[in-house]
Amino acid sequence: MKIDRLVRRSLAKSKPPSYPIADPTMLRMDANTNLLGMNPVVAKALKAGVWKDVNHYPSGLNDGLRAAVAERYDLRLAEVMIGDGSDEMLDVIMKTFCDVGDVVAAPVPTFIMYAFYARIHGARFAAVPLEANWTLDPKKLIAARAKIMFIASPNNPTGNAHSYRDIEAVLEASNGLVVVDEAYAEFCGHSWLPRITEFPNLIVTRTFSKSHGLAGLRVGFCAAQQEIMDRLYTAKTPFTVSAVSERIAAAALRDSRYLNATLKMLATEKPFLAGGLEKLGFKPYRSDANFLLVDCPVLASDLVKKLKQKKILVRFMGDQPRLENCIRVTVGRREDNVKLLKAVKSCR
């Protein structure tokens, strides 16, 4: 039997994505995770017996964490959905609203998963180029006439947050849904969560992976007006977030000390790392996130390989348009950043 003839047409020519192997001996400056270390709420929650009833299912909608999110961001419970990272939220949005052949758009370069989900669900992906300084042109995005538009702000991998006015223009003019992906919003201090009541076509997605240091637990959420949420729940699989992950995420949301320490670290370490790279002839772009997009004066692909040999991982961005000789580097602690700068200097 030839399995290929049974595969969905939208996946006929697709290959499985490859993911880096988690190696604890490596300095992981490639994944935009939180390099401050483990969030102390994890140890506290485990000590308090957060795992005690894992022989039972969690609540189907993770009501405890939904309530914590609603309280933290002044939302109604009916406006919040919890998921297996914000990635699941993106998938649920596509499953709910995307028919085969629909247009899905995003300004590029951006998070590669938007195009991935479009392909999986048989949509046509419209890549709308960002301007020279990585800013959004609302008119070009609106002209795509997409049913679903994804806007990451701050944007991954360029690092910049898009202006409120530009996103507002898209929301006001679009007849489709506008998904503002706020995976890095805590780092820039701007959010669209308070404005979901203003726009019936707005969905905001968030994750606990970055600012709260819980990437390994896979927890995220989205927020929108109840009419959208009622539709999303028709496509949402229950029990995708474990009871343990839910309780730890709720604890992290209520205890802001780790987040504050992260922001304090970035306030000093981001300019330190950017300045160090500039002295070595690199061009780091301005970033509102916890990472830097860096244009290299040497061949970026070779640099990534050499750094890997020195047990440091950074992300090669050459597979994205206009980033042919760029790398993306997560901002770490002072010792992490010093180690990277020394390694880069030795690779020149």
Q: What is the pLDDT of residues 185-225, one digit of tens each?
A: 999 988 999 999 999 999 999 999 999 999 999 999 999 99
At 105-142, the pLDDT tens digits run 999 999 999 999 999 999 999 999 999 999 999 999 99
pLDDT tier for residue 243 given thresholds of 50, 70 and 90: very high
Tracing tokens 């709308």 back to the chain, one arrives at: 128
| Residue range(s) in the chain whose domain bears CATH number 3.40.640.10 | 51-254
Averaged pLDDT for residues 148-170: 97
Averaged pLDDT for residues 166-180: 97
- In the chain, the N- to C-terminal Cα span, in Å, equals 53
The answer to whether the beta carbons of residues 108 and 127 sit under 8 Å apart is yes
Comparing 55 with 286, the larger pLDDT belongs to 286
Tell me the two tokens of residue 184.
């890095």
CATH number for the region 3-38+257-347 comes to 3.90.1150.10
pLDDT at 24: 81
pLDDT at 49: 81
Residue 55 has pLDDT above 90, yes or no: no
Residue 233 has pLDDT above 80, yes or no: yes
| Residue range(s) in the chain whose domain bears CATH number 3.90.1150.10 | 3-38+257-347
Residue 65 exposed, middle or buried by CB count within 10 Å (0-12, 13-18, 19+): buried
pLDDT at 21: 65
**What CA–CA distance (Å, rounded) separates 177 from 123?**
14
**What CA–CA distance (Å, rounded) separates 153 from 267?**
19
pLDDT tier for residue 48 given thresholds of 50, 70 and 90: confident
This prediction's pTM: 0.94
Residue 139 has a CB neighbour count (10 Å cut-off) of 12
The 3-state secondary structure of the chain reads: CCHHHHCCHHHCCCCCCCCCCCCCCCEECCCCCCCCCCCHHHHHHHHCCCCCCCCCCCCCCCHHHHHHHHHHHCCCHHHEEEECHHHHHHHHHHHHHCCCCCEEEEEECCCCHHHHHHHHCCCEEEEEECCCCCCCCHHHHHHCCCCEEEEECCCCCCCCCCCHHHHHHHHHHCCCEEEEECCCHHHHCCCCHHHCCCCCCEEEEEECCCCCCCHHHCCEEEEECHHHHHHHCCCCCCCCCCHHHHHHHHHHHHCCHHHHHHHHHHHHHHHHHHHHHHHCCCEECCCCCCEEEEECCCCHHHHHHHHHHCCEECEECCCCCCCCCEEEEECCCHHHHHHHHHHHHHHC
CATH class of the domain defined by 51-254: alpha beta
Mean pLDDT for the chain overall: 94
Averaged pLDDT for residues 3-15: 75
Residue 58 exposed, middle or buried by CB count within 10 Å (0-12, 13-18, 19+): buried
pLDDT at 23: 78
**What CA–CA distance (Å, rounded) separates 175 from 166?**
16
Tracing tokens 């949402």 back to the chain, one arrives at: 236
Averaged pLDDT for residues 158-175: 96
pLDDT at 112: 94
The fraction of the chain above a pLDDT of 70, given in percent, is 98
At 263-303, the pLDDT tens digits run 999 999 999 999 999 999 999 999 999 999 999 999 999 99
Comparing 283 with 3, the larger pLDDT belongs to 283
Residue (of 263, 270, 208) closest to 241 by Cα position = 208
pLDDT tier for residue 57 given thresholds of 50, 70 and 90: confident
pLDDT at 306: 95
pLDDT at 58: 87
pLDDT tier for residue 20 given thresholds of 50, 70 and 90: low
Residue 24 has a CB neighbour count (10 Å cut-off) of 5
pLDDT tier for residue 101 given thresholds of 50, 70 and 90: very high
In the chain, the largest separation of any two C-alpha atoms, in whole Å, equals 59
Phi, then psi, of 19 in degrees rounded to 5: -120, 145
Residue 135 exposed, middle or buried by CB count within 10 Å (0-12, 13-18, 19+): middle
pLDDT at 45: 87
At 66-81, the pLDDT tens digits run 999 999 999 999 999 9
CA 271 to chain centre: 22
